[in-house]
Amino acid sequence: MAMIPESVVAEIIQRNNIVEVINSFVPLKKAGNGSWKACCPFHQEKTPSFHVSETKQLYYCFGCQKGGDAVKFMRDYLNLDYVEALQQLAQRAGVVIPQNVTPEEEAAYRKRRSEAGRMYDLHEALASFYRQELLQNPNSPVAQYFATRQIPGEYAEKFRIGAAPDSWDASITFLKSRGFTEQEIIAAGVAIEKSPGGRCYDRFRNRLVFAITDENNRVIGFSARIIVKDDTAPKYVNSPETAIFHKGSILYGLAQARDSIRRNKFAIVCEGQLDTIALHRAGLDMAVAPQGLAFRSEQAELIKRYTDKLYLCFDSDSAGQQGTLRVLEFLLPMNFEIYALQIAGGKDPDEIMRTQSADVLHDALKNAIPLTRIILNGLQRSYNLATPNGKVAAAEEAVKLLGAVPNPMLREAYFEEIASALRLPINRLFEFHRKQKRFADNTFSGNQGKSDAADNAPAKYNDMRSENIRHAEASLLLLALNSADGPRQIAECLDEKLLSDSPTALILKELMNMALNGEWFSGSELLSHLPEKLAGDPEVVKMLIRDVELTAEQCRQILEDCPRELQKDYCKRKSQELLYELRETNDIVRQAAILEELKNLRKQ
């Protein structure tokens, strides 16, 4: 990729006033001191909820939660990638981007970019073609089969469901008529070459076609379902991996679900296209599904950008249950809050929508079972929990799974639930967990010498912040963002180690550092200092763009109370962690050291 030096990026951002940039596409109205408004260009609305702050150089829509700096706006509004957006802004402000890349690198980059661009266009065209095929031939076998699926037209439109004609070359012929070469058609995976240089034929024939889109609703591939019962043919034929289609990192329905996930603060993960659509039809439009077989960590990372709370809706047959346990193995270390939907009679959402009603699905959501229940239900299938041996084996398995929960207090709470459900002494579970950990620490050389205590470092407690801490950090950030001298004052009276690793705290730390280094600050400049994940988070932009007037008295109070609150919480967490260790260790020397540390903490 063409690299633009950081200094040039900063110059480009500084020389483009966001108000002028956005105003050239969307007329803005002055709304107050340094702030502008418009009807949002990213969603339909009648009263303006799209705000642009000149002082902070940020925009944010309170309706659809899109927001960011000028670069982000160009990317979203004109569908550009990062470099393209910067290039346009550079041109606008007359900034020359130095050519520090070799011509070969540049050429290769351009070629890749234009190839990917062509591939998106090809998929878009083909998706429309399949869609028209379905709409215009209501008597075709595919359309007749589609009718039996009972999917209303608006959902077929929303999810871009189409028909691949019963033909060897209809797709190829269509795409060639749109100017795509045979080579491009093969590279996109929609045609198959019999032998190198030999004849080509359509990959999708006489099937119901689901367009697969990325989170920005660009078509990147297809999944085509068989329409007749035929055990010799695969039920689904999918696009192969291409330059733009990576099965592992796709969540079907995410483009249609993401606003709802943000609004509702949770997502439902189900098993396939038809279940996703069924859940959306039931009004549960926060549903997504992995593309292909299993839900994996890449997809979990994708969804983590939108929510921390997942409802799993997998088949209730034993394969589905085993799958759930495997999924927990990577979800738990990622700090997800997890529930599972259980649908009576072991039916899937698609079946429910065809034979029963949306209420069944809503009830299933309402009665979703919590994490430890999911685990116990899963283990029940492999172990006889009526026998002592079965109980112990199940408990050990549960501890292995739950041991991956990063937060020790949460982990401990889960252990307690398991112990009480199985009526086993909780200490046995802790003991087994410690043994497991020691084994793991010795196995991975990178962790050598790391004791149990190291795992209990304060940072690990951070996501169990009390409401007080959340409030203290939020107040400090409010002060930092709304008082010119705030960041410096905070930096002078607050020890960074007292802060958690919440987004609020991370931004606060960045601001404190910028203040200490005497760096000038604006909202967009701060964004470019933040980790990409955080900078791209609309919640962060929303926080930054908010204007609040603080009185001198309020400022004084925040500076006085909040650091004290954080200090208090830090001591409390540290003591809890030491007490836990004290209870678990048999080492007398360590015990004495812990008691000493506890005494010091109490003094603080």
Positions touching Zn ion (CB under 5 A) are: 40, 42-43, 61, 63-64
Closest separation in Å from C-beta 256 to Zn ion: 16
In a 13 Å sphere around the CA of 581, the CA atoms on its Cβ side amount to 24
Closest separation in Å from C-beta 22 to Zn ion: 13
**C-beta closer to Zn ion: residue 40 or 376:** 40
Closest separation in Å from C-beta 255 to Zn ion: 15
Give 31-92 as a DSSP string: EETTEEEE--SSS--SS--EEEETTTTEEEETTT--EE-HHHHHHHHHT--HHHHHHHHHHH
**3-state secondary structure (DSSP) of residue 529:** helix
**C-beta closer to Zn ion: residue 61 or 156:** 61
φ and ψ at residue 193, rounded to 5 degrees: -95, 125
Closest separation in Å from C-beta 215 to Zn ion: 16
**3-state secondary structure (DSSP) of residue 5:** coil
In a 13 Å sphere around the CA of 225, the CA atoms on its Cβ side amount to 18
Residue that is written with structure tokens 């209809």 in the block: 170
**C-beta closer to Zn ion: residue 49 or 557:** 49
Closest separation in Å from C-beta 157 to Zn ion: 22
**C-beta closer to Zn ion: residue 64 or 540:** 64
**C-beta closer to Zn ion: residue 42 or 82:** 42
Closest separation in Å from C-beta 252 to Zn ion: 24
Closest separation in Å from C-beta 531 to Zn ion: 25
Closest separation in Å from C-beta 538 to Zn ion: 10
Structure tokens, 337: 């809050």
**C-beta closer to Zn ion: residue 51 or 573:** 51
Closest separation in Å from C-beta 65 to Zn ion: 7
Beta bridge partners of 236: 225
**C-beta closer to Zn ion: residue 50 or 580:** 50
Give 110-127 as a DSSP string: HHHHHHHHHHHHHHHHHH
CB distance 30 to 36 below 8 Å: yes
**C-beta closer to Zn ion: residue 77 or 330:** 77
Residues 6+ apart with CB under 8 A from 524: 13, 18, 56, 57, 58, 69, 70
Residue count (the chain): 604
Closest separation in Å from C-beta 45 to Zn ion: 7
Rounded CA separation 528/536 (Å): 10
Rounded CA separation 439/437 (Å): 5
Angle made by CA atoms 194, 133, 174, in degrees to the nearest 5: 45
Give the burial class of 399: count Cβ atoms within 10 A of its Cβ; 0-12 exposed, 13-18 middle, 19 or more buried.
buried
Structure tokens, 368: 């979703």
**C-beta closer to Zn ion: residue 27 or 531:** 27
Q: Give, to the nearest 10 degrees, the angle between helix 486-493 and helix 552-584.
A: 40
**C-beta closer to Zn ion: residue 42 or 109:** 42
